[in-house]
Amino acid sequence: MTLAKVEVERFSLKCSKPFDSVVAALKSAVGQPDIVEFFKATRAANSFSDLERVVQSGLGRTGLLLFAEFDLGAILRRETGTETPKSMRFLVGNPLIMKEMVKHVSDAGSYAPVTVLVDERPDGVHVSYDKMESCLLPYGSLEALAVARNLDAKITTLLRECTN
């Protein structure tokens, strides 16, 4: 058994925009393919170039796609019976970027696709993301860290756009 400590750097922004506007901005910036059909098409690809075409067709203008979303707030609201808090977790990424990280650090597959959290708090709407570079730093791969930095730039740019 091996235990490793991974220190994570969290990127967070707070804004006064309505929750639904932030969520809509995020979803409009990432591809939203029918994920079941997307995965069928990736499995059916006969070559890497075919796979790249399938992936590219599923990406949004940010070069990212939405793998899944979870309405965490819906569970909380069942208990409180109120309209708040609103909280959504989005799994966002790009299989081609994930491949490049996993090629150099197998454990990168534990961190990708990434989680983006959008949640309502008393002081505003927060968007948060655990930076991939910090997750991969302990593994010491310069190649994986370069890919992670580029992914972090994509995600943090996306979050800034959603909150402005």
User: Does 45 fall in a domain?
Assistant: yes
Burial class of residue 8 in the structure, from the number of CB atoms within 10 Å of its CB (0-12 exposed, 13-18 middle, 19+ buried): exposed
- Residue range(s) defining the domain that contains residue 69: 10-163
- CATH code, domain carrying 128: 3.30.310.70
Mean pLDDT of 75-95: 89
Question: What's the pLDDT score for residue 10?
Answer: 97
Residue 120 lies inside a defined structural domain of this protein: yes
The pTM (predicted TM-score) of the whole model is 0.93
Taking CA atoms, 149 is separated from 94, 129, 133, in Å, by: 14, 13, 6
How many structural domains is the chain composed of? 1
Identify the pLDDT of residue 5. Answer: 83
The closest of 145, 82, 135 to 112, measured between CA atoms, is 135
Residue 55 has a pLDDT of 97
Average pLDDT over residues 122-150: 96
Residue 3 in any domain: the answer is no
Residue 2 inside a domain? The answer is: no
